[in-house]
Each structure stands twice: as C-alpha cells, then as structure tokens.
Chain A
Amino acid sequence: MVHREIEMLRVRANEIRKDIIRMLGRAGSGHPGGSLSAADIVAALYFKVLRIDPQNPRRPDRDRFILSKGHAAPVLYAALAQRGFFPREELDTLRRLGSRLQGHPDMKKLPGVEMSTGSLGQGLSVANGVALAGKLDGLDYRVYVLLGDGEIQEGQVWEAAMAAAHYKLDNLTAFLDHNRMQIDGPIEKVMSPEPVPDKWRAFGWDVQVIDGHDMAGILRALEKAGSVKGKPQMIVAETVKGKGVSFMENQVGWHGVAPKPGEVERALAELGDRGPVEGEG
C-alpha cells in the first residue's frame, strides 16, 4: 500500500470525525461515541474499497455497506456526503423535521443508504439476503456490514451468523466495532458476548482481529477477507469508543449525548490540526 494513500485515508477519517462532531453539536442529540469509533473503518470502505458511484447510487453491481448499528448514523452520513452522494451542507439538517438525515438511517429518504437500520440486530440478516441475491444473479459485488459489540447480544445476529456460513456467503464481510461499551456500561458488565472471535469461528466464519484505528491494518484485513472462499468473514476491530476526542474516549456517558457548543469547539480543536483534503468526493 502506498504510504501517501494511507495518509490520505487517515486525513479522511479525521474529516469524518469533524463532521460527526459538528452535525451532532448542531442537532443537539445523537450518538458520538460509536460514530467516532467506526470512523477509520468507514473511511477505508468509502474512500478505498467500495465499488460505488454517487451519480448512480442504485446500480445493480455496486458494493453494499450496511450500517447495522444504525445509531452511528453520523459516521455514515459524513462519509456519504464527503463521497458526493448529497451536499455536505445538508449534514446540518441532521435529526430536524423534514430532513433526509433521520436520527437513524432511512433508505427511502437518503441516496447511498443501503438499508434502514437502527433497531439493533437486523442488519446482518439483510446483508445475507443481498449476498444471496448476488450469488443468484452471478454478480460479483461484495456486501459489507458493520455491527456493534453490544448489538451482538441480539439473538437474531446469531441466526444470521449461522445462515451466512450455511449458505457459504464468501461475498460477505462483517466488521465488529469492538469498543467494549454500551449505553448501560461496559459490555462485559451488562451482558458479556466474549470471547467474541471464538464465537464467530464456532459459527463457521473466517475471523481476523485487528486494531480498528490502524488504517494500514484495516486495508490489509479487507484484502485478506476478499480472498477467502466458501466462508463469510468477520473482522473484529478493536476500537476505542469516542476515538479522536480525548474527553470522549472510553467514556460510556458519550454513547448517546451530543456535545454542547463549548465541547464542540474543544473537540474540533483537537481534531482540527489536519486540514480538509481533496479526495474522490
């Protein structure tokens, strides 16, 4: 991987983080912690990996990304806007009456959103269906899905895990945003899903464990996943909730509370050292 490209993606992830902070500050509510923890993964997907065309968002052979942990909508909206699916200024309308940027992603309203999510535990099943359709139609698109680590407490996730392996959906790659926090506290205290990698392996998946904030590592894992045959792939990404904003990092209180104006300024100052980049968007 070219060093310059990795650096570009890092800067892009930082830009996504800044948009997350800005839009949540304006909205006055929403979920910063789990949006920030997923920013590097989402940047890698939208600015390097996904075969998508913002001018033709429904083309049948496009790659799909499904944000199963739909409360992290800001990270998806920032990536879609920066990638050119809709004007970046529209991020200011998040959660407002009449906005296409609903509190949780709504595929009927916003181009680029592949699935309406937000009710946890449902995205992997949908990803399975899209992957099955790709196999039926002989299309070579890939399906990516991002799950939260609290989310996998939902039983439906394991129904879907079983089915993906049963149908040998090797065109499906899942990420687990393993930030170890949920609304009520550390996941291991609320309801431990550990050991996470062993569980996915036992369900018949190819499993990798990576640092979810190491851009080169994310890209390497995606490349490796893409070469796996006969099995769906799980990339367990070890992440930090609130990553990039010191006062939010590993603070469970920042799961579902928006920053106040002063906090927005402090957060942007921390993130602001890197200027905006001219990318593909």
Chain B
Amino acid sequence: MAGKTATREAYGKALAELGKLNGRVVVLDADLSKSTKTADFAGVFPDRFFNMGIAEQNMIGTAAGLASAGKIPFASTFAVFAAGRAFEQIRNSVAYAGLNVKIAATHAGVTVGEDGGSHQSVEDIALMRSLPSMTVFVPADEAETFGAVRAAAEMEGPVYIRLGRAGVPPVHGDGFRFVPGKAVVLREGRDAAVIAAGIMVSAALEAASVLAGEGIECRVLSMHTVKPLDVEAVVAAARETGALVTAEEHSVIGGLGGAVCEAVCGNFPVPVKRVGLPDVFGESGKPEELLEKFGLTPSGIAAAVREAIKMKAGVKG
C-alpha cells in the first residue's frame, strides 16, 4: 500500500492545480493557511489569495461577495470555526442567498489530537447537512479529495468539504473517478454493509478483512458525498445485506449515521448500527489514542457489524 497523505495535504495540491485551470478560483483563509494548506495556492497565486485574519464570520461574508461578482471562492479554516463560528453567515449570506461559495474545512474530527476537544469538530456534518442547497463532501483519501475539489468548482452552489489533519492510506486504485452523489462500492458482500466516510473508510476495509476471516462477507461503501446522499446505494445495501453499519469521525447524531437512518427508515427499514462519537466532545491525546478510546477503529466497526447481523437475525443486540 502506498504511503499516507492527509486530505488537507491533498486539498492544498488540488487547489493549486485548480488555480491554473480556472482563473475564477480565489482562496480565503483565516490565519491558518499553513495548516489548511491553502498556502500552496497562495504561493502560486498571491493576487487571488486573501488572508482575512482571525475573523471567520467576515471571511465567509467576503467569500459571498466575491461569489456574487462571479468568482469561485474557496474559504478555509478549521472545521470548528468554519461550520461552527461562521454557521449563521454560511446559512444567510451563502446558502440562503444561493451563492457559489466553497467552504473547505480542515482539522475535522478527533484526529486533531493534542489540541483537544475545543478544536475537534464532531458536529460539522450535522450542521452543514441541515442547510437547504448545501452539498457536503467527506473525502476518504487523496483521490477523493482531488475529485471533491474539482467537482465543487464545477458545480454551481454552496459546497462544504470536510478534511482531516492526519494521514490516511489510499482507498482507491488507479482509474477511480469521483462522481458527486455516487457512493463507491469498495468491497462486495451480502451479510452486512459498512457505509463509511472520511478516515473511517480505510478502517472499514480493514474491518471487512477481519470479518472475512470469520466467514462474514461485508460490503464496504465510501460515501464521499453525505449530501445529497446516494439513497439508491443505501437502499440497495439495506435490501441486499439486511444489516447496516455507518462509520464516521463525527458525532453519531446528525452526521452520516443520521443521514443513512433517515434514508432506510423511509424506504427499507433494517437495523443500522452507528459508529461515531457517542454524543460527547473529544479531548487531548494522540490521534490514534483518541480513535481507540472512541472505538473509531477496525475492531470497533467489526463489533458493530456482528451486532447488526445479530439484530437482523432477531437476536437482541
């Protein structure tokens, strides 16, 4: 397997490349350009990069103004400050106004690590997903990040891209094509399906390997677009496997798990186990320690799959 790359690293590269292809692309940051990697773009296109200082609300509003004048702004900061601090600016100045702003938020989830719970966004997918017209991408690796950035620039309307700090292995081979709103089946299986996003996709693949050793064949989907959700793929997984597990580096409330539950309960109800933070904030620690603590691991996913299969069989989970 090739080396690990953080999705924020991929974002920086993708953005610098996009800048060459599309002169309408401009980038804003709130004093975190070295961490969010928008500095990669700033280095090549200094005139199209705007550091807005530590002022996220104004950054989002400025992006809205740039969009209204025909630019394609990418605004970046940590997920806590983008989706949280500037939520109402995103709601009213971007989404309600119907403006073409792309919010690329890095350092989402507990893999922020040592900085602690104040900086670990576990609610941003829920917040962004609740806004009418907002598209939400949660890429799993470098290839999905490149695809998400390119797709965001090509589509008209507000987009939220959720990116991570920690390195992740590639989950796609050569020839992968990112199609917005289309889940990717990475592994087939009929006993259960794991629907994962972000860093949990590679963990889901590992879990499926472990389960295969026990004779459990598990389908794995990368749901890089949490909104609009690929309901067809979710319902197919529900119908064909009868037991679902969702996995995300986010609260179990309102994120991918919530979206999948909403989709199955209205279409094809089956048991759904959600792997995520159990309605708690994160804390300081090494990223791998935190993932372990909250069960955001291959073994955590595998345990959830076994429970979901028991529930399918009518055994109390």
Chain A min CB distance to B176 (Å): 34
Most buried by B among A129, A136, A162: A129
**Interface stretch (choices A39-47, A120-128, A248-256):** A120-128
**Contacting residues, chain A, for B47 (C-beta < 8 A):** 136
User: Nearest CB to that of B28 among chain A residues?
Assistant: A129
Most buried by A among B64, B69, B92, B98: B69
Q: Contact partner of A127 among B26, B55, B65, CB < 8 A? A: B65
A132 at the interface (CB under 8 A from B): yes
A111 at the interface (CB under 8 A from B): no
CB interface residues, A 126-153, toward B, < 8 Å: 126-134, 136-137
Q: Contact partner of B92 among A116, A129, A137, CB < 8 A? A: A116
Number of B interface residues, CB 8 Å?
A: 29
A129 touches B68 (CB 8 A): yes
Instruction: Give Cα A167 to B73, complex, Å.
Output: 17
Interface string of B91-113 (1 = CB under 8 A from A): 01100111000000000000000
**Contacting residues, chain A, for B92 (C-beta < 8 A):** 116, 118-119, 122
Asked whether A133 and B65 contact (CB < 8 A) given A126-B93, A167-B50, the answer is: yes
Asked whether A132 and B64 contact (CB < 8 A) given A107-B97, A119-B88, A163-B55, the answer is: no
Interface string of A100-118 (1 = CB under 8 A from B): 0000001110000011101
Q: Contact partner of B61 among A106, A108, A156, A162, CB < 8 A? A: A156
B65 touches A126 (CB 8 A): yes
B58 touches A160 (CB 8 A): yes
User: Nearest CB to that of A155 among chain B residues?
Assistant: B57
A115 touches B50 (CB 8 A): no
Chain B min CB distance to A38 (Å): 21
Most buried by A among B58, B64, B89, B98: B58
A162 touches B55 (CB 8 A): yes
B62 touches A132 (CB 8 A): yes
Instruction: Give Cα A132 to B50, complex, Å.
Output: 10
Instruction: Give Cα A106 to B92, complex, Å.
Output: 10
CB interface residues, B 226-249, toward A, < 8 Å: none
A7 at the interface (CB under 8 A from B): no
CB interface residues, A 214-249, toward B, < 8 Å: none
Most buried by A among B63, B64, B67: B64
B71 at the interface (CB under 8 A from A): yes
Chain A min CB distance to B154 (Å): 20
26 contacts between A and B (CB under 8 A): A106-B96, A114-B68, A115-B64, A118-B92, A122-B89, A122-B93, A125-B65, A125-B89, A125-B93, A126-B61, A128-B62, A129-B67, A130-B65, A130-B68, A132-B50, A132-B62, A133-B65, A133-B66, A136-B26, A137-B69, A159-B55, A159-B58, A160-B62, A162-B53, A163-B58, A166-B53
Starting from the known contacts A106-B96, A107-B98, 15 additional A-B residue pairs (CB-CB under 8 Å) come to A115-B93, A115-B97, A119-B88, A121-B57, A125-B60, A126-B68, A127-B65, A129-B61, A129-B65, A129-B69, A130-B69, A132-B62, A133-B71, A137-B70, A159-B55
Query: Contact residues of A with B, CB < 8 Å?
Result: 60, 106-108, 114-116, 118-119, 121-134, 136-137, 155-156, 159-160, 162-163, 166-167
Query: Contact residues of B with A, CB < 8 Å?
Result: 26, 47-48, 50, 52-53, 55, 57-58, 60-71, 73, 88-89, 92-93, 96-98
